[in-house]
């Protein structure tokens, strides 16, 4: 199998899935439906409150810490001798892909949040925030407040 065959097998299904999810969320209200499910409009509180210590650990800081641990383990294994890596049946190339993915995914999310004017749910006026709800391809009206 050539490198191109491997790329064709792994990249294009991922791109197709990404496009499918973008279309799903851009042309339906499923995102608002999901957000409404996790928000209690009468108490004006989220089911998962980032200020609660246990929930913050499980849903916010815990996953971030886990990503750092996996990345650190991947870097350590990448630097380890081949004989040690062979015990885990993983190549240096596979480890580099995992490490690159762990670094790239959060960076792309941060970049897209900074450039699209799509805000976190708690920042939306629907949930007592300051910003209007807009999809990625929508623009702000003259009386709406976009990101500075």
- Same-domain pairing of 17 and 62: no
pTM here is: 0.68
Is 44 contained in some domain? no
**Domain of 6, in residue numbers:** 1-37
- Same-domain pairing of 71 and 86: yes
Looking at residue 142, its pLDDT comes to: 73
Mean pLDDT (whole number) for 51-79: 91
**Residue 49 CB neighbours (<10 A):** 13
Q: What is the DSSP string of 78-140?
A: HHS-HHHHHTTT--HHHHHHHHHHHHHHHHHHHHHHHHH----GGGBGGGT-SB----TT---
Domain count, the chain: 3
- Same-domain pairing of 109 and 131: no
Looking at residue 2, its pLDDT comes to: 64
- Same-domain pairing of 99 and 54: yes
Q: What is the DSSP string of 20-50?
A: HHHHHHHHSSHHHHHHHHTEETTTTEESS-T
Q: How far apart are alpha carbons 33 and 133 in whole angstroms?
A: 13
**Residue 109 CB neighbours (<10 A):** 10
- Same-domain pairing of 53 and 84: yes
């Amino acid at each position: 199998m050539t490198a191109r065959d491997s790329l064709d097998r792994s990249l294009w299904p991922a791109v197709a899935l990404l496009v499918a999810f973008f279309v799903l969320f851009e042309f339906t209200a499923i995102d608002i439906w999901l957000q409404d499910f996790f928000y209690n409009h009468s108490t004006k509180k989220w089911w998962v409150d980032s200020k609660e210590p246990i929930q913050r650990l499980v849903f916010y800081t815990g996953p971030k810490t886990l990503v750092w641990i996996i990345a650190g383990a991947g870097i350590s294994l990448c630097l380890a001798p081949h004989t040690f890596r062979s015990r885990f049946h993983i190549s240096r190339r596979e480890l580099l892909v995992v490490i690159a993915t762990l670094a790239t995914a959060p960076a792309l999310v941060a970049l897209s949040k900074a450039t699209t004017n799509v805000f976190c749910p708690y920042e939306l006026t629907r949930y007592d925030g300051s910003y209007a709800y807009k999809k990625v391809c929508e623009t702000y009206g003259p009386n709406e407040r976009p990101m500075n």
